[in-house]
Structure 1
Amino acid sequence: MEEHFIQDGFRKYPALRDHPLKTAAQWKLGRAMDDGCGHLWRVGDHLYDLSLFVQSHPGGREWLEVTRGMDITEAFEYSHLSPHVRTVLEKYYVRPAEGPRNSPYTFEPDGFYMTLKKRVHQHLATKVSREEKDEAHKRITNVQDRLVAIFLFLFMATAWTESYTLAILSGVVLMLIINCSHNFYHKKDNWRMYCWDLGLLSSYEWRITHALSHHGYTNTLWDFELSDFEPFADFRVYPKSFVQRYVIPSILMSSSFLFFFLEAVKRIVTIAIGQQRLRPENMLPLVELLFLWLLGCPFVVSVKLWLVIHAVSSFMFGMVGIIAAHHHPDMYHAGDGAFQYGNDWGLGQLDAVRDRRDVDGILLAELTMYGNHILHHLFPTLDHGILDIIRPIFKETCLDFKLPAEWAQSQSPYNQWDLVVGVIQQLARTQSRSLARSKSD
């Protein structure tokens, strides 16, 4: 099995990838084993000791603490636009790294991504005013804050009326809050990122499994969000059983209401075995339960309403996440053997991400259903409100690199239904794209 996937460009199959306990801590441990950086950090072909920089890191100490001992090349590049950051990095240089990187991605100075990044930085630094940036950011925070206010109102009304209808509505709004807060945990530490923790999830864990793993290595062997479904649902491309291909999709969709609870159980296990510590924000869901009771709702009824709120939110979150933007036979998945446009990291993202024409352009839908997804993947630490400002630069760069019209003209051929069907097709896919094309020719 492992040998089948090495063709995808990784030097070796990721350590601990198939461990039965799928957690952020386990992914970190596997990466440290594979990268072999000890107590240092690797960027490109060099090792750095950032220990003295952790406390003063502008993005917050957490990002560096969780990546010690890892190759952070991808995260370093997509997190920093300004070339000045390299000057800071060089202050902490230790020695050359031993051996080539495990990752298949490249960041050539004249390649697509580095060219795009340089142009975006120049545009934002010289063409976009501070007022324009602040206004773009304010649009996003207004949406998040209003959703939080609506949730609090519905939550209190649920307790006072003991209404399961209001509990269902609270769960839907909670899902919208969680998805909207996705914009904030990609950035430096801020209070809005903890809205993610309202739903039995952990912003700390998802910074690892989503921001570092999924965004750095989308749909590859190192993408935690690909391995997290396995062995029950397998989006990789290789020979699969009938059950994996055709029975699992229906189970996957219908059981999404359990997702939050399973994540909570995994967190309890990792805390119990000492892989991570209990964090204050982990207690927010229990605070919700306590408030239901303190607001006058009988305890047993409070527990039932609390379960309904989180089950509904979990179901909606799971459905939106699965059919959002990554699983369709047209997109690269581990087992396809090669990226369609080469190993440049930005082109790899274009190969594994899609936009949806019926979601983009509607701010609430973009923030809560992962719209404007290509630009978000290319620049995940940029505030979502900035993405439309840099779209002309993206289109210009796509034209210069002679990429397909889908990106050069920002006209996605996909709608939400296409990606719903695509999930089912991808779970059933057993042939790489190149083999499928050769047979059709």
Structure 2
Amino acid sequence: MDMSKIFHSSLGIKYPTLRDHPLHSGSKWLKGKNVDDGAEGYWRIHDNLYDLHSFIKLHPGGEDWLKLTKGTDITEAFEAHHFTSMPEDLLPNFFIRKATQTRNLPFTFDDRGFYKTLKRKVAEELEKLPEHPKNRSKYLTDALFSLYVTAFISAVRYRSFSVGILAGILLGLTAIAAHNFFHQKDNFRRFYFDFSMMSSREWRISHVLSHHMYTNTISDMEISSLEPFLWYLPAKRHFIVKYCSWLYSPVIYGVLTMVHFLKTLIQELLDGGSGLSFTILLPFTLPLLSWVITGQSALFCIVMFFWIIIVGSVHFGLVGVNAAHHHPQIFHDGDAIRPLNELDWGIHQLDAVMDRREITGSHFLVLTNFGDHALHHLFPSIDHGLLEYLYPIFLETCKHFGVEWKLTSQLELVKGQFLQLANEKVNSEPPKKLLHTKL
């Protein structure tokens, strides 16, 4: 089915070029943005074009972020990832000219609006926060990875598929915890994610630059890459998707990481192999190490490897797909929108997310279950361990602007996710109108 002929964004976003390419790769998504964003081969921020070539090697977050986004509109990413005035002060040095094309995205960043107001308060608060929560995130993630390696080798050594299940769960927990680190400046812990057979570099595109910036819109890769098997936007869908997705979803979860690996490998080969990196080999170091240490046959090591990968993939899929974004009461592109003067990017993030009361409040659960999801979407580069300290400021600012923070149960989100898969009707009621109060 050609979705471009049946779906029109209620936000007015042009149907993304290459959105429905069979690979659904980050590379294709970026090429599509090069066509759609009016960046003219430069980096676009709001309505200005900048030439950041000379700054690539100086970028504090690492070179990848600027290399990947050349020729695209990076307005949302620029606003969401910088807290000091320094980046904005540096921009005039790289200014080329005004963009000739209007922005493809409708989101605003008014200085007196919700997001910029909240960000200023958060920037001040960050200077007062302790370091130990960030260190705890590192220790917990290191411990999970170490336990995964130990469980993997033990599963092979004792030929135990039960221990293999434990290893798979530990792999899922490790991958989710490592997600905290590929949002941040370059660091080695982001590579823990690659042991799941998924690529941290690819996820920096599909998750960080796409999903986080354009959540639940037609430009969100975490929506498009699951189509047509899991279809979350409100549109006419095949009756199998509508009525049977709850039956075959676990199968999709089970092959999620392996399909992602094959997709990444194919894309890198199509790109001439120049992008082939050592990270694509990381998952296979564990069966090799187990073979060397335990003396078990190579065939059994491979069988156990895929058993553990499948278990880890199911765990990752169950947690990730049911974490925050899919429920009939959550905004999905196609639903009625707020008035145009209320399309603040931060408000959109809250319209497209729900938090789970069982997860919020525990550092370990937040780190390993995509917790504190609203705050994480608003400030993705802030370590998960620090998010709990931001709730007083966050809730106060929500109250001032009349913005709703939706809190529900894990069970309700799981049920809501399947209701949304069966939902063909747009939500005709826009999110609640803003009602400002005095601070």
Greater CA deviation, 308-317 or 9-18? 9-18
Q: Unpaired segments of 5 or more residues in structure 2?
A: 432-439
Greater CA deviation, 336-345 or 358-367? 336-345
- Distance in 1, matches of 2:156 and 2:254, equals 22
Alignment of 1:132-281 (within 5 A): 132=130, 134-274=131-271, 277-281=275-279
Greater CA deviation, 34-43 or 365-374? 34-43
Equivalent residue for 1:287?
285
Call closer, same or farther: CA 1:309–1:141 in 2, change over 3 Å.
same
Greater CA deviation, 197-206 or 17-26? 17-26
Greater CA deviation, 83-92 or 238-247? 238-247
Alignment of 1:36-435 (within 5 A): 36-125=38-127, 128-129=128-129, 132=130, 134-274=131-271, 277-295=275-293, 296-339=295-338, 342-404=342-404, 407=405, 412-434=406-428
Alignment of 1:12-51 (within 5 A): 12-51=14-53
Call closer, same or farther: CA 1:379–1:247 in 2, change over 3 Å.
same
Deviation, structure 1 residue 26 = 0.9
Alignment deviations for residues 106-125 of structure 1 (CA, whole Å, 9 cap, x no partner): 11111100111111112223
Q: Unpaired segments of 5 or more residues in structure 1?
A: none
Alignment deviations for residues 169-196 of structure 1 (CA, whole Å, 9 cap, x no partner): 1111011000000100000000000000
Deviation, structure 1 residue 339 = 4.4
TM-score, scaled to structure 1: 0.93
Q: Answer yes or no: is the 8 Å Cα contact 2:44–2:72 preserved in 1.
A: yes
Greater CA deviation, 191-200 or 37-46? 37-46
Alignment deviations for residues 212-231 of structure 1 (CA, whole Å, 9 cap, x no partner): 10000000011000001111
Call closer, same or farther: CA 1:358–1:340 in 2, change over 3 Å.
farther
Equivalent residue for 2:12?
10
Q: Which amino acid aligns with 2:403?
A: L
The DSSP-based 3-state class of the residue aligned with 1:189 is: coil
Deviation, structure 1 residue 248 = 2.3
Kindly report structure 1 stretches of 4+ aligned residues shifted beyond 6 Å: none
Alignment deviations for residues 395-424 of structure 1 (CA, whole Å, 9 cap, x no partner): 1111111223xx3xxxx5411100110011
- Distance in 1, matches of 2:232 and 2:91, equals 37
Alignment deviations for residues 126-153 of structure 1 (CA, whole Å, 9 cap, x no partner): xx15xx1x11211211211111221122
- Distance in 2, matches of 1:275 and 1:427, equals 38
Q: Which amino acid aligns with 1:310?
A: I
Deviation, structure 1 residue 54 = 0.2
Q: Answer yes or no: is the 8 Å Cα contact 2:175–2:196 preserved in 1.
A: yes
Q: Answer yes or no: is the 8 Å Cα contact 1:249–1:424 preserved in 2.
A: yes
Deviation, structure 1 residue 367 = 0.9
- Distance in 2, matches of 1:9 and 1:149, equals 45
TM-score, scaled to structure 2: 0.93
The DSSP-based 3-state class of the residue aligned with 2:76 is: helix
Q: Answer yes or no: is the 8 Å Cα contact 2:9–2:217 preserved in 1.
A: no
Alignment deviations for residues 265-311 of structure 1 (CA, whole Å, 9 cap, x no partner): 11221122126621111110121221121121211101110011101
The DSSP-based 3-state class of the residue aligned with 1:255 is: helix
Q: Which amino acid aligns with 1:56?
A: L
- Distance in 1, matches of 2:152 and 2:239, equals 43
Deviation, structure 1 residue 206 = 0.1
- Distance in 1, matches of 2:373 and 2:202, equals 21
Q: Answer yes or no: is the 8 Å Cα contact 1:25–1:275 preserved in 2.
A: no
Alignment deviations for residues 25-84 of structure 1 (CA, whole Å, 9 cap, x no partner): 111111111113233100000000000000000000000000000000000000001122
Q: Which amino acid aligns with 2:317?
A: G
Call closer, same or farther: CA 1:4–1:111 in 2, change over 3 Å.
farther
Call closer, same or farther: CA 1:67–1:81 in 2, change over 3 Å.
same
- Distance in 1, matches of 2:146 and 2:136, equals 16
- Distance in 1, matches of 2:407 and 2:394, equals 18
